[in-house]
Structure 1
Amino acid sequence: MHTRDIDYRCGDAHLRGYLALNATIGKRPGVLVFHEGLGLGDFAMERARRLAGCGYVALAADMFGERRQAGSLDEAMSLIGGLRAEPETLRARARAALGVLAGLPEVDAGRCAAIGFCFGGTVALELARDGADLKAAASFHGVLSTTRPAAKGAVRASVLVLTGADDPLAPRDQVAAFEDEMRAAEVADWQVVSYGNALHGFANPAADGSIMRAALYNPQADRRSWAAMRGLFDEVLA
């Protein structure tokens, strides 16, 4: 497996992503991985390598710039809040990462997808709402609310939401509002999977409640959500 840092820009922001791919011949589907609220770190990079092991070219994108890492929950909330308050900047940075991935010689630009965890799940959904050329967008325990709902007919991706039934960051009313948004936008293919007894951060083994009490790893939900994503990718990226 080959891995390397990959630098790119969006406006004045210097972004440093992490690329993972296997040395096989021919163009392959590409998958973006959007990081959690603490920034691009080991977890997103490990998921990129796991995707590369499945035969995809995976780019773990940097949404904060300079591969910045938050040292506390307050700092993470500040970084996230700044981007959520400027959705055009958030979507532009996500599109910049997609442009880098789609432009790689190993990638079939017509077969790209995006996944994200926590804040990154929000980013993957925002990219889909923005009408990006994606075959699929999958959100793992992401916040589902948005200030810019998808316009009718705008979403081109198959949308998969993987959420914890007990996640306070994605309460029932937010899930219902998301489902209503998908219906109103006439999204052709969307699904919401809710995992019982699962909190926020269920896919990250490092989530132990120490940074956020509501963030706790759930190995069963982790396995099942990854399998659900793989099943969708086998269908739409083949």
Structure 2
Amino acid sequence: MLHPELKLLVYKIRNRDLRRKVIELLKNPVFEIDGKVYSGLPLEISPAGLSHHHSYPGGFIEHVVSSTRLALAICDSVEKVYHGKVNRDLVIAGTILHDIFKPLTYAVGENGSITSTDLADYMDHLSIVISELVRRGFPLELIHVVSAHHGENSPIKPHTIEALICHLADLVDSKLNNEILRAASFLARKAVGEDLQGLNSREAFEIILAKAEEGWEGVKEAVKKIKQDREKMCKS
């Protein structure tokens, strides 16, 4: 089963063959090499990073959905403001799949923390996805969108408007999430004098909203509630 929000975005892909390939990869994001099959964490519980952004359970889906929505907003701007032309199928598919094998490089450690897998010692997620997109018969234009999504730090820079849009959407969402988490961490630390580890986006916004509406006392109460909610989750 696809995540509901992800499913809505996938079905915006008009080309049936491309949509089918995307769905198949989302439902079966495995990679085989030397006779060994790697599967990694389920997409729904995987983070999208280990430290910089979306570094909490569920962060992967958040990042993919948010990046794709941002990419579509950029498409609107390109077409309606700049009178350009964009292949939205490539933008949607590329943005959905740009980090698809990150969960493959993550595992849950003994203490419950997310760690890197042995596969990550030999291959990065971008190398894996490019090779797998080729193996699964994705079009060259789509492979370029994915391979160029790191912009200047990619194996190849974006050479199409679709690749540029994917890169910019990924960059904006990563930066947005990182700044939100940093701001919430700062507020929590200043309010209670200790770091609140493992913040997710929902908790971060609770803290930021509390500061805006109720000041530092609101932040203290928000941090207290977050800790209580986490304790309940651990016991359940």
Question: TM > 0.5 between the two?
Answer: no
Name the larger-Rg structure: 2
Larger RCO: Structure 1 or Structure 2 (Cα < 8 Å, ≥ 6 residues apart)?
Answer: 2
Structure having the larger proportion of residues in strand: 1
TM-score scaled to structure 2, two decimals?
0.35
